[in-house]
Structure 1
Amino acid sequence: MSAIDQYLNDHPETRQRMRRQSPLDVLLAKDNDAVIELAELDPTVRASLFDQVKRESSHVTGDLYNCTAWAWRILGRMSDGSLKTMCAEPGKIVRCVAQQEISRRAKRQPQADERPPAPNVTDPNSASSAEPPNGADLLDEVLAFCKQFIAYPDTDSSIAHTLWIAHAWLVDLLFTTPRLAFVSPEKRSGKTRAQEVTAQLVPNPVNVVSVSPAYLYRRIQEKPDGMLPVIELDETDALFTGRPSETTEQIRGIINAGYRQGATVGRAEATKNGEVKTVDFPVFAAVCLAGIGNMPDTIADRAIIIHMKRRRPDYTLTPYRDRTVRRQAKPLRTRLAAWAQAQRGALAAYTDDDYPQMPDEIQDRDADVWEPLFIIAQIAGGHWPQLVSDTAIRIIHKQHEEPQSIGERLLKDIRTVFDDHTAIYRSDLIEQLKRIEGAPWRTLGKSGDGIDSWYLTKTLKQYDIAKDYGGRAHSIRIGGMPHDWGYYKSDFQDAWTRYLPAEDTPSANSVTPVTPETPDIAPADPARVTPVTTVTHFSEGVHHVPQGAKASCNEPEELDF
Structure 2
Amino acid sequence: MKHERRPMARDCRSRRRRDPNRARPSVAGRAGSADPRWRAGVVRRSRRPRPCRCRRTGGRPSIATACPGGAAAGSSGGSAIGPHRHGPAEGRMMSEQAISPDVVIDDEGLYTLDGDPPQDALTDAESDAGVIESLARLSPVEYDRRREAEATKLGIRVTTLDREVARLRRRDVDAPSDGGTETLFPDVVPWPKLVDGEDLLTTMAATFRKHLVLPAGAADALALWVLHAHAHDASSISPILSITSPTPECGKTTALTVLAALVPKALPGSNITAAALFRAVEKWQPTLLIDEADTFLGQRDELRGVLNSGHSRAAAFVIRTTGDDHEPRRFRTWSPKAIAAIGDLHPTLASRSIHIELRRMGPGEHVEPAREGRLGHLDPLIRKAARWTSDHFDCLRGADPNIPATLAGRRADNWHPLLAIADTAGGDWPLRARRAAEALTGTDRGETAGVMLLADIRTVLRERGLDRISSADLAVALGEMLDRPWPEWRAGNPITQTQVARLLKPFKIGPRQIRVSCRTLKGYHIDQFTDAFSRYLPSGAETAKQPNDSADFEGIEGDTSGAGVSGRLGSKAAGNSRCFGVSPRDGTAVVDNEIEWFEGETESAP
The structure 1 residue matched to 2:180, chosen from 64, 68, 74, is: 74
- Looking at structure 1, the residues matched to 499 and 205 of structure 2 have their Cα atoms a distance apart, in angstroms, of 47
| AA aligned opposite 1:294 | D
The structure 2 residue matched to 1:333, chosen from 382, 386, 396, is: 382
Give the SS at the match of 1:359.
coil
- Looking at structure 2, the residues matched to 67 and 483 of structure 1 have their Cα atoms a distance apart, in angstroms, of 74
For 1:253, the equivalent position in structure 2 comes to 305
Superposition deviation, residue 165 in structure 1: 0.8
The structure 2 residue matched to 1:476, chosen from 515, 520, 544, is: 515
TM alignment of 1:275-294, pairs within 5 A? 275-294=325-344
- Looking at structure 2, the residues matched to 357 and 320 of structure 1 have their Cα atoms a distance apart, in angstroms, of 36
The structure 1 residue matched to 2:422, chosen from 365, 377, 381, is: 377
Check whether the contact 2:281–2:335 (CA below 8 A) recurs between aligned residues. yes
The structure 2 residue matched to 1:213, chosen from 265, 271, 274, is: 274
Give the SS at the match of 1:475.
strand
Superposition deviation, residue 412 in structure 1: 2.2
The yes-or-no answer on 1:427 pairing with 2:472 is: yes
The yes-or-no answer on 1:195 pairing with 2:252 is: no
For 2:265, the equivalent position in structure 1 comes to 204
The structure 2 residue matched to 1:318, chosen from 368, 378, 390, is: 368
Check whether the contact 1:489–1:511 (CA below 8 A) recurs between aligned residues. no
The structure 2 residue matched to 1:438, chosen from 480, 483, 504, is: 483
| AA aligned opposite 1:335 | K
The yes-or-no answer on 1:417 pairing with 2:445 is: no
For 2:222, the equivalent position in structure 1 comes to 161
User: 1:393 and 1:319, CA in 2 relative to 1: closer, same or farther beyond 3 A?
Assistant: closer
Q: Which has the larger radius of gyration?
A: 2
| AA aligned opposite 1:250 | E
Check whether the contact 2:350–2:446 (CA below 8 A) recurs between aligned residues. no
Q: List alignment gaps of at least 5 residues for structure 2.
A: 1-128, 138-163, 588-606
The yes-or-no answer on 1:457 pairing with 2:494 is: no
User: 1:516 and 1:65, CA in 2 relative to 1: closer, same or farther beyond 3 A?
Assistant: closer
- Looking at structure 1, the residues matched to 470 and 181 of structure 2 have their Cα atoms a distance apart, in angstroms, of 79
| AA aligned opposite 1:493 | T
- Per-residue CA deviation, residues 383-421 of structure 1 (Å, 9 max, x unaligned), is 21221122223323x133x67111122222223333132
Check whether the contact 1:461–1:472 (CA below 8 A) recurs between aligned residues. no
For 2:533, the equivalent position in structure 1 comes to 496
The structure 2 residue matched to 1:173, chosen from 222, 234, 239, is: 234
Check whether the contact 2:274–2:303 (CA below 8 A) recurs between aligned residues. yes
Give the SS at the match of 1:285.
coil
TM-score w.r.t. structure 1 length?
0.66
- Looking at structure 1, the residues matched to 567 and 451 of structure 2 have their Cα atoms a distance apart, in angstroms, of 23
Higher relative contact order (CA 8 A, sep 6+): 1
| AA aligned opposite 1:234 | D
Superposition deviation, residue 164 in structure 1: 0.3
User: 1:231 and 1:514, CA in 2 relative to 1: closer, same or farther beyond 3 A?
Assistant: same
- Looking at structure 2, the residues matched to 449 and 317 of structure 1 have their Cα atoms a distance apart, in angstroms, of 42
| AA aligned opposite 2:312 | R
Check whether the contact 1:424–1:545 (CA below 8 A) recurs between aligned residues. no
The structure 1 residue matched to 2:545, chosen from 498, 501, 511, is: 511
The yes-or-no answer on 1:231 pairing with 2:283 is: no
The yes-or-no answer on 1:140 pairing with 2:189 is: no
User: 1:345 and 1:500, CA in 2 relative to 1: closer, same or farther beyond 3 A?
Assistant: closer
Check whether the contact 1:259–1:286 (CA below 8 A) recurs between aligned residues. no
- Looking at structure 1, the residues matched to 234 and 318 of structure 2 have their Cα atoms a distance apart, in angstroms, of 20
- Looking at structure 2, the residues matched to 178 and 391 of structure 1 have their Cα atoms a distance apart, in angstroms, of 15
| AA aligned opposite 2:433 | V
Select between 167-176 and 435-444 the one with higher mean Cα deviation: 435-444
For 2:320, the equivalent position in structure 1 comes to 267
Give the SS at the match of 2:339.
strand
Give the SS at the match of 1:334.
helix
The yes-or-no answer on 1:360 pairing with 2:409 is: no
- Looking at structure 2, the residues matched to 68 and 540 of structure 1 have their Cα atoms a distance apart, in angstroms, of 78
For 2:104, the equivalent position in structure 1 comes to none
User: 1:163 and 1:238, CA in 2 relative to 1: closer, same or farther beyond 3 A?
Assistant: same
| AA aligned opposite 1:476 | R
Bigger helix share: 1
- Looking at structure 1, the residues matched to 535 and 580 of structure 2 have their Cα atoms a distance apart, in angstroms, of 26
Superposition deviation, residue 474 in structure 1: 2.1
For 2:142, the equivalent position in structure 1 comes to none
- Looking at structure 2, the residues matched to 542 and 323 of structure 1 have their Cα atoms a distance apart, in angstroms, of 69
- Looking at structure 2, the residues matched to 202 and 488 of structure 1 have their Cα atoms a distance apart, in angstroms, of 52
User: 1:128 and 1:236, CA in 2 relative to 1: closer, same or farther beyond 3 A?
Assistant: closer
Check whether the contact 2:238–2:414 (CA below 8 A) recurs between aligned residues. yes
The yes-or-no answer on 1:391 pairing with 2:452 is: no
- Looking at structure 1, the residues matched to 167 and 565 of structure 2 have their Cα atoms a distance apart, in angstroms, of 72
User: 1:555 and 1:308, CA in 2 relative to 1: closer, same or farther beyond 3 A?
Assistant: closer
Superposition deviation, residue 475 in structure 1: 3.3
Give the SS at the match of 1:168.
helix
User: 1:555 and 1:126, CA in 2 relative to 1: closer, same or farther beyond 3 A?
Assistant: closer
User: 1:345 and 1:554, CA in 2 relative to 1: closer, same or farther beyond 3 A?
Assistant: closer
Q: List alignment gaps of at least 5 residues for structure 1.
A: 1-50, 78-124, 466-470, 522-529
Superposition deviation, residue 76 in structure 1: 11
The structure 2 residue matched to 1:149, chosen from 202, 208, 211, is: 211
- Looking at structure 1, the residues matched to 209 and 558 of structure 2 have their Cα atoms a distance apart, in angstroms, of 63
The yes-or-no answer on 1:552 pairing with 2:578 is: no
Check whether the contact 1:490–1:511 (CA below 8 A) recurs between aligned residues. no
The count of aligned residue pairs is: 415
Give the SS at the match of 2:503.
helix
| AA aligned opposite 1:432 | A
Supply the RMSD in Å over aligned alpha carbons: 3.8
TM alignment of 1:296-311, pairs within 5 A? 296-311=346-361
- Looking at structure 2, the residues matched to 75 and 304 of structure 1 have their Cα atoms a distance apart, in angstroms, of 34
User: 1:519 and 1:237, CA in 2 relative to 1: closer, same or farther beyond 3 A?
Assistant: same
- Per-residue CA deviation, residues 476-523 of structure 1 (Å, 9 max, x unaligned), is 223xx5443333334333322322251x44x24x533763446859xx
- Looking at structure 2, the residues matched to 554 and 202 of structure 1 have their Cα atoms a distance apart, in angstroms, of 63
Check whether the contact 2:419–2:430 (CA below 8 A) recurs between aligned residues. yes
User: 1:452 and 1:347, CA in 2 relative to 1: closer, same or farther beyond 3 A?
Assistant: closer
| AA aligned opposite 1:142 | M
Check whether the contact 1:424–1:544 (CA below 8 A) recurs between aligned residues. no
